[in-house]
Structure 1
């Protein structure tokens, strides 16, 4: 939606859109330090050619109560409603309101910050803070507001958001409320919030942090100090004494000089412990699937050996069918042993089942072609195993019964096509297996001719998958359709 607003409605070029998106990905820190709501406006022309501003971004602070309960993104405002935005864009500097605005029923102090990109003003950000609870600020609040003012000036200068700092995910990044330190240009701590002090206590830093250089208490500080010196943000992790701290440093820049930095810290010990436990559990589960696959392949090999000793053709065929059923289950376990999640890309399983049947069942003199239409997508393991068995039974049934030899024992002049069609919606998956073979004899029903394979398929669909099973046949071929709900 944001890209649509910026490209289509506001008419901005691609590079400017990217810059504003980077700003929106990183401006939570500015809102929290400001104790204020942030709104991002771009110039806009209404359908009646009236000049206006389009709100393309909104951020509420974690550190204060929001002013706006409603979402303003996508709304257009006449320029007369936002005079400070106009001034900020025209003069290219931060515009501050001397007196609070009472139009909303509460006193709101507004500030408009121009957004500079490649030397041009492309948008403006408003900071709007509720000052109804104004009181003597604490050291924490004074530090927050000072840092917010410096970040706002960097936004006006075009040095924030930082060039080249384009993270895809900020979900785990430290926030202001997690813990913050302010350091000077060489890394000396000038302020440390209680949460930041507690985080470093977990790392074993028991000394008083104020006035210390971060190299004195942070064992992995070299990267932080080098990034501060370069004027580039960096996010790194340090582990010590069983504790894990995530740190992110934001250099403060004024007139191209580094004047200090903000060190945001977040204690993520429990999070990383849970992640390690999940990785271990995942590796264990994949090893179990690997062993199950090996055991199933061993069983299949034993059945093949047994089949070679039998003299009855019917008994050998029965064992061969059992081997293929076991092999289809083994395919699912093999796939699961290679995946990091307990979900299976069923397209791969379907293709491997077809390859297995094509190699083991089809006669090279009978050109039977297999065709897959549609995509089943990923399926949970508990659904993939019975569905693989169902597919094996249905495809095997097609190969064995749709294209038989004639009564004289001659091979048919032409083979045929077996089509496997997948139709997936949000709620269900439909699988249709169709062949253009001989179908059922005139006057006979498919139910009456149902063999063990079809009985197995029907039972699995209805009992294990909770779906429906239907089959139709004529002299033009057979079609089996199953519908199963997605879990």
Structure 2
């Protein structure tokens, strides 16, 4: 809400008007509420007062709405208003009568809808005008469009009715079935596709001047609707059609309708088949997820029943890999897509599983994620899941040896043709292993062969940065 400067209002009134102190106080009382009025009406609001010479008006207060875009780019308080541009304001000064919804032009040349009411002071004298202005350019544009559409409808009506009355010149090769019916719903024209449709649906010949409902009784309700344009999908004898009814207008009177049949049977059948396939694919995803979770449960059971200590770490790593792949299918099943995976959520799910759901020898390890939400295909996502699993697992396992706490950051970046994922930690730093690392071997293999990308890992002063880059689309 705008706060009007009362000192400025007082100064402008004393400098440019002959208003008494009592009248100026009345102007200031109205000005105090300008912000509320502007916000409530979603309009720019002003107070104009007549100057001493009565030839001009001076804008002594203004408020722009916080609830919508202002009509004005620049402040106008302190500027003069002229009758040429503000005839409604000067009419109110002279007659003390309000004007509502008047079309006007602002000092910046913008079309507005203007309402003006008088501000009455001592001795019932009009001492100012409260002005409200709204941008009506969109409304005028809509009115112009409506006029154009109305004219186009008139032209179309005359054209089509003329075709029906004389020799039709509608292209005979149009696939849709076209009918022109008059105000009494009798057929005046039908193209060859329409004739074939009647023959197929009704086993009868389509004849001019026959009642349209004799052939299509189920469409009587659609044809009698008063709307200028009706679009509905109907089923007639196991075939699906999109029906368009366009009212024909001549001399502002309904002269009949232009009816178009579009056969959607094959399209709807393909959609049904696609729906069946979609359900089948989701069922496959569901079974894969369940099978992976079953394997994970068997591994957990084996770990609980006891395994050699030197083997336990390998069991846990395998368990995490299986759960990371299962995360891909969980995300697919929780979304509306059947094959797209949002990788930010996927990485977050895997990271939280590795960091928060496991014991880390009493270390306090935290993880953060930043980056955009990107969609990739499910088979692509499985490779990403395994890579991220290995990199975060590597941090948890090696980065914080000898430390009581640590932090992991996963940063996702999207370039025009590449996705970059960095896994950083503030641990002891990376040093090249003396023997081959199975986890890093998995990462390199997945990046190079499955994702057609690059992998790099370096130790820095306070930790390690592992960087994965791969194209948005595989070659």
- What TM-score comes out, normalization by structure 1 length? 0.61
Deviations 1:138-189 (A, max 9, x none): 7322x79xxxxxxxxxxxxxxxxxxxxxxxxxxxxxx976232112234322
**Where does residue 300 of structure 1 map in the other structure?**
296
Alignment of 1:122-271 (within 5 A): 139-141=167-169, 178-204=176-202, 206-218=204-216, 220-227=218-225, 230-254=226-250, 256-271=252-267
Contact 1:244-1:267 within 8 A present in 2 as well:
yes
Query: Are positions 1:461 and 2:447 aligned together?
Result: yes
RMSD: 3.5
Partner of 1:13: 137
What CA distance in whole angstroms lies between the structure 2 residues aligned with 1:343 and 1:29? Answer: 45
Which residue does 1:482 correspond to in 2? 468
In structure 2, the partner of 1:374 is 371
Whether the 8 Å contact between 2:281 and 2:338 is mirrored in structure 1 is: no
From the superposition, tell whether residues 311 and 426 of structure 1 become closer, same or farther in structure 2 (CA, over 3 Å).
same
The offset of 1:303, in angstroms, is 0.9
Aligned residues of 1:178 and 1:266 also touching (Cα < 8 A): yes
- Partners of 1:425 and 1:26 lie apart in 2 by 49
Distance in 2, matches of 1:476 and 1:376, equals: 29
Matches within 5 A, 1:369-448: 369-404=366-401, 406=402, 412-413=403-404, 415-440=405-430, 445-446=431-432, 448=434
241-250 or 324-333: which moved more? 241-250
Pairwise CA distance, 1:324: 1.2
Q: Where do 5+ consecutive residues of structure 1 fail to align?
A: 1-9, 36-136, 145-174, 407-411
How far did 1:460 drift?
A: 0.7
Match of 1:361 in 2: 358
Flag the 1:216–1:467 CA change in 2: closer, same or farther, 3 A. same
Tell me, in whole angstroms, the C-alpha distance in 2 between the residues paired with 1:310 and 1:138.
Answer: 94
Cα separation, partners in 2 of 1:22 and 1:248, compared to 1, 3 Å: farther
Q: Across the two proteins, how many residue pairs are aligned to each other?
A: 334
SS at match of 1:446: coil
What's the counterpart of residue 149 of structure 1? none
Provide closer, same or farther for how the CA distance between residues 258 and 24 of structure 1 changes in structure 2, counting only shifts above 3 A.
closer
CA deviations 1:5-33 (Å, max 9, x no partner) are: xxxxx998234556778999999999999
**In the alignment, is residue 285 of structure 1 matched against residue 281 of structure 2?**
yes
SS at match of 1:280: helix
- The CA deviation string for residues 286-338 of structure 1, in whole angstroms up to 9 with x for no partner, is 11111111111111101111111224223222111111111111111223334
**3-state SS of 2:427 partner:** coil
Q: SS of the residue aligned with 2:206?
A: coil
Alpha-carbon distance in structure 2 between the residues aligned to 1:316 and 1:457: 22
CA distance in 2 between partners of 1:356 and 1:234 (Å) = 54
Deviation at 1:383, TM superposition (A): 0.8
Residue 400 to residue 34, structure 1, CA distance change in 2 (3 Å)? farther
CA contact (8 A) 1:248 1:265 kept: yes
Question: Structure 1 residues 11-20 or 307-316, which shifts more?
Answer: 11-20
Distance 2:158 2:446 in 1: 61
Structure 1 distance, partners of 2:146, 2:443, is 53
Tell me, yes or no, if the aligned pair for 1:328 and 1:392 is still in contact at 8 Å.
Answer: yes
State the distance in 2 between where 1:23 and 1:416 align.
69
Cα deviation for residue 204 of structure 1 reads 4.3
Post-superposition Cα deviations, 1:219-269, rounded to whole Å, max 9, x if no partner, equal: 541441242xx2331211222344222111111234553221111221222
Question: Whole-Å Cα distance in 2 between the matches of residues 254 and 31 of structure 1?
Answer: 9
Summarize deviations over 1:55-86 as a string: whole Å, max 9, x none.
xxxxxxxxxxxxxxxxxxxxxxxxxxxxxxxx
1:183 match: secondary structure: strand
Supply the distance in 2 between the matched residues of 1:31 and 1:387 (Cα, whole angstroms).
60
- In 2, Cα distance between the equivalents of 1:345 and 1:198? 50
| Aligned counterpart for 1:470 among listed residues 441, 456, 471 | 456
CA distance in 2, matches of 1:419, 1:30: 66
- Give distance in 2, aligned partners of 1:391 and 1:26: 61
Match of 1:116 in 2: none
Note the alpha carbon deviations across 1:199-225, whole angstroms, 9 max, x for none.
444444634253333333225414412
Q: 1: distance between equivalents of 2:379 and 2:455? A: 19
SS at match of 1:270: helix
Structure 1 residue aligned with 2:68: none
* Cα distance in structure 2, aligned partners of 1:330 and 1:27: 61
> Partner of 1:44 in structure 2?
none
CA contact (8 A) 2:365 2:408 kept: yes
* Bigger radius of gyration: 2
Indicate how the Cα distance of structure 1 residues 288 and 33 shifts in structure 2: closer, same or farther if over 3 A, else same: farther
Counterpart CA distance in 2 for 1:379 and 1:446 is 32
The alignment's TM-score, normalised by the length of structure 2, stands at 0.62
1:472–1:195 Cα change, 3 Å:
same
Equivalent position SS for 1:140: coil
Instruction: Indicate how the Cα distance of structure 1 residues 449 and 209 shifts in structure 2: closer, same or farther if over 3 A, else same.
Output: farther
Distance in 1 (CA, whole Å) between partners of 2:148 and 2:345 is 39
